[in-house]
Amino acid sequence: MTREILIVTHPRRSVVRESARRVLDGLAAAGIAPRVLRDEAEVLDLTGAAVVPHDDDAAVGVELVMVLGGDGSLLRGAEFARRADVPLLGVNLGHVGFLAEAEPEALESTIDHVVRKDYTVEDRMTVDVTVRRHGRVAYTGWALNEMSLEKAERARMLECVLEIDGRPLSRWGCDGVICSTPTGSTAYAFSAGGPVMWPGVEALLVAPISAHALFARPLVLAPSATVAVEIVEPVPGILYCDGRRLAEVPPESRVEVVRGSRPVRLAVVHPLPFTDRLVAKFDLPVAGWRGRNGR
């Protein structure tokens, strides 16, 4: 049976075309059939790959989804990979690229690992999101990084009540509320003052955005927790899942967040301690470190 890999790119970036061409040629030379989304193939003028529609079935039957781009592109690739229950592999061609597994200079090595199936797979926790209004389900979604509920009117605060495991905790006048996974703790939740959580941690992180309240600290909850945010009149909200999928949330609505029923599977070809990843991505100062056996 022919091996197939879906290539997802950021088609508007000039650096992507050369990298995509190298990936397609490398896979084809190894007898692996690459797939490319139709809209991206047209923009990048890519040939030599099977062109598939940009729909829910784009990754069905592939071995993995390989993303060339930044974290935004990888989150887009995660949608295809999660639907097909296949691993996701990212090559960072963006800026920070926290979710990506490999940097541009390791592209050839990454292709070689893929060809040899020399990679491991780790599950990353997701969250499932449900919006209810007057007892009826108005929206369902999921996120790998975070769910963010934000005010829909720039000049007014969002009034909401936070509930944990069926009990009210606090009421906030705020710009919004974030519920994040450990993977998303270095993304939006980090900018809201939340802690960094190592990927091996299983927990939910709740962080208010610019809350006008005495008790407005980020919260780290058990992975089994149920988080709910109820919007008090009059300001409506907008819900974002990974900043990509959105829904309007009118007053008197209730947003519920729980651990996701299905994880996103990340392929790892260049194992690197998460501490080293933090140092590299945030350019953290470590001069003077000697280690346990240092002198």
Three-state SS letters, 211-250: CCCCCCCCEEECCCCCEEEEEECCCCEEEEECCCEEEEEC
Residue 201 phi/psi, 5-degree rounding, is -75, 140
3-state secondary structure the chain: CCCEEEEEECCCCHHHHHHHHHHHHHHHHCCCEEEEEHHHHHHHCCCCCEEECCCCCCCCCCCEEEEEECHHHHHHHHHHHHHHCCCEEEEECCCCCCCCCECHHHHHHHHHHHHCCCCEEEEECCEEEEEEECCEEEEEEEECCEEEEEECCCCCCEEEEEEECCEEEEEEEECEEEEECCHHHHCHHHHCCCCCCCCCCCCEEEEEECCCCCCCCCEEECCCCCEEEEEECCCCEEEEECCCEEEEECCCEEEEEEECCCCEEEEECCCCCHHHHHHHHHCCCCCCCCCCCCC
The pLDDT of residue 96: 63
The pLDDT of residue 39: 83
Q: How far apart are CA 96 and CA 283, in angstroms?
A: 10
Tokens 């208010």 correspond to: 208
The pLDDT of residue 129: 98
Q: Are 121 and 267 in contact (CB under 8 A)?
A: yes
Architecture of domain 127-259: Sandwich (2.60)
Over residues 225-279, the pLDDT tens digits come to 999 999 998 899 999 999 999 999 999 999 999 999 999 999 999 888 999 989 9
Residue ranges in the chain modelled with pLDDT below 50:
none
Q: How far apart are CA 184 and CA 123, in angstroms?
A: 14
Residue 115 phi/psi, 5-degree rounding, is -60, -40
- CA 101 to the chain's CA centroid: 13
Kindly report whether the global pTM for this prediction surpasses the value 0.85: yes
Q: Which amino acid is at 254?
A: R
What residues does each domain of the chain span? 4-124+263-282, 127-259
Active site residues: 71
The domain made up of 4-124+263-282 is a member of CATH 3.40.50.10330: yes
